Structure 1
Amino acid sequence: MAEKGDNDDLVPEDTGFKPPAPKSLDEILNADKDDPSLENYKKQLLGNTVPPVFPDNPRNVIVQKIQIEFLGESREPANIQLMDADLSVLKKSPIVIKEGVNYRVKVFFYVQREIVAGLRYINCSYKMGIRVAKDDLMVGSYPPKAEPHVYSSPAQEAPSGMMARGTYTIKSRFTDDDRNDFLSWEWAIKIKDSWKD
């Protein structure tokens, strides 16, 4: 179990970047009306405005699921549903990963109502209560869309060796440069010497 104060681990690293003042989608679309080339560029970039996919959900960013994709392996990806899920039970069912295997995490998420800038995906891994790794990944900026956006993390190699095997608790957070907490959750992986559960 993570030690007291580990929530501080999920705070984005300070890069010194100061995001500009937020603007609504309408403000962005209505600016520069006298420049046709810029208007066309914005339409290509932002697409058509769409109504909220989940109008009863006040969040602008909704994380649907994460998927662990095993590279170079004839194995189906592992999916963890996050939207409308009981997040408290996720770490009770660790995902088995064979040691030494290359994998990447994909995050499926919706953006509704307004553009979101500077999205970040932060992961902290703990083994026996001690933090062993932290990834602070820049996801980017996204406009509202009716379908989910998909972010793919860089490939990682699962640790190998007897000391590396075992269960790891992962604390994850989907946030942005303004430190809005779109979703925080805990899940688990189990590094084994084979794919057997």
Structure 2
Amino acid sequence: MSGESGVTITPDEDPTLSFETETSGDVEEEAIKSSYKPPPEKTIEEILAADQEDESLRKYKEALLGQAQAGAVIIDANDPRKVIVKKLALCVPNRDDLELDLTGDLSELKKQVFVIREGVQYRIRIDFVVQREIVHGLKYVQKTYRMGVPVDKMTHMVGSYPPKTEIQSYTTPPEDAPSGMLARGSYSVNSVFTDDDKNIHLEWEWCFDIKKDWN
């Protein structure tokens, strides 16, 4: 699999030898992280109070915030998190989505191994709910390993979201699964749903097999 700072596995490459050293993409990413400072968080009231003289902007913000204006949106009073991650789905054109339920025992996820046909194009969708307050700068980070060796890393900026009772979703851009005899085999994935303030809303591990065909 290929990501923002990852590699694409080709038939004449041994994927177990990838990422022996830090790539230039990783260096650039770390440099950005060290210099980037997220904007200060603002409450719903502060956002609505700003730019009141701009009628179109005021209406846009009111429409965007929706339910949050009526008061605190609480989905699960026993869960202190602002973001509750519900599901991961592997989406392939013309096939049913492969889904992982992220609301149960996360240690059981490795038993549900996805089968992916080599070379296929896929997307990953994350379903989540936001409660209590606006969440700023959500990010989805995914690291892929083969036999314990990292072979790919991708980071996707998800964005900022207001609290809502409905499930909200983010779908990654299309990725190509690796292909070739050497690329076939079992992979493990570490996924993290985080934000600009380095709050980890959920971290989980899952697995997939790259095969010549779906069966």
Matched residue SS, 1:48: helix
1:92-149 CA-partner distances (Å, limit 9, x unpaired): 2210001111110000011111111111000000000100000011111111111111
Q: Which has the higher strand share?
A: 1
Q: Does structure 2 retain, via aligned residues, the 8 Å contact 1:120–1:138?
A: yes
1:131 to 150, 159, 162: 150
Alignment partners' CA distance in 1, 2:184 and 2:73:
47
The CA deviation at 1:17 is 2.4
The answer to whether the aligner puts 1:79 opposite 2:99 as a matched pair is yes
For residue 112 of structure 1, what is the aligned residue in structure 2?
A: 131
Question: Which residues of structure 1 form unaligned runs of 5+?
Answer: 1-8
The answer to whether the aligner puts 1:66 opposite 2:85 as a matched pair is no
The CA deviation at 1:51 is 2.2
User: Matches of residues 38-187 of structure 1 in structure 2 within 5 Å?
Assistant: 38-49=57-68, 51-71=73-93, 74-83=94-103, 85-187=104-206
- Which amino acid letter does the alignment assign opposite residue 98 of structure 2? A
For residue 6 of structure 1, what is the aligned residue in structure 2?
A: none
TM-score relative to the length of structure 1:
0.86
Q: Which has the higher helix share?
A: 2
- Structure 1 residues 59, 129: CA separation in 2 closer, same or farther (over 3 Å shift)? same
Alignment partners' CA distance in 1, 2:84 and 2:30:
22
Q: Which moved more, 1:181-190 or 1:16-25?
A: 16-25
Matched residue SS, 1:19: coil
Q: Which moved more, 1:19-28 or 1:143-152?
A: 19-28
Q: Does structure 2 retain, via aligned residues, the 8 Å contact 1:13–1:136?
A: no
- Structure 1 residues 21, 136: CA separation in 2 closer, same or farther (over 3 Å shift)? same
Question: Which residues of structure 2 form unaligned runs of 5+?
Answer: 1-25
- Structure 1 residues 191, 177: CA separation in 2 closer, same or farther (over 3 Å shift)? same
In angstroms, what is the RMSD of aligned CA positions?
A: 1.8
TM-score relative to the length of structure 2:
0.79
- Structure 1 residues 13, 53: CA separation in 2 closer, same or farther (over 3 Å shift)? farther
Q: Does structure 2 retain, via aligned residues, the 8 Å contact 1:91–1:188?
A: yes
The CA deviation at 1:181 is 0.4
Alignment partners' CA distance in 2, 1:112 and 1:186:
24
The CA deviation at 1:37 is 3.6
The CA deviation at 1:33 is 4.4
1:26-62 CA-partner distances (Å, limit 9, x unpaired): 3322444455443212102222326212222111001
1:46-84 CA-partner distances (Å, limit 9, x unpaired): 22326212222111001000110112xx3211010002x
How many aligned positions are there?
Answer: 183
Alignment partners' CA distance in 1, 2:115 and 2:155:
23
Alignment partners' CA distance in 1, 2:197 and 2:160:
13
For residue 15 of structure 2, what is the aligned residue in structure 1?
A: none
Alignment partners' CA distance in 2, 1:38 and 1:100:
45
For residue 48 of structure 2, what is the aligned residue in structure 1?
A: 29
Matched residue SS, 2:199: coil
Alignment partners' CA distance in 2, 1:78 and 1:17:
35
- Which amino acid letter does the alignment assign opposite residue 80 of structure 1? L
Q: Does structure 1 retain, via aligned residues, the 8 Å contact 2:67–2:73?
A: no
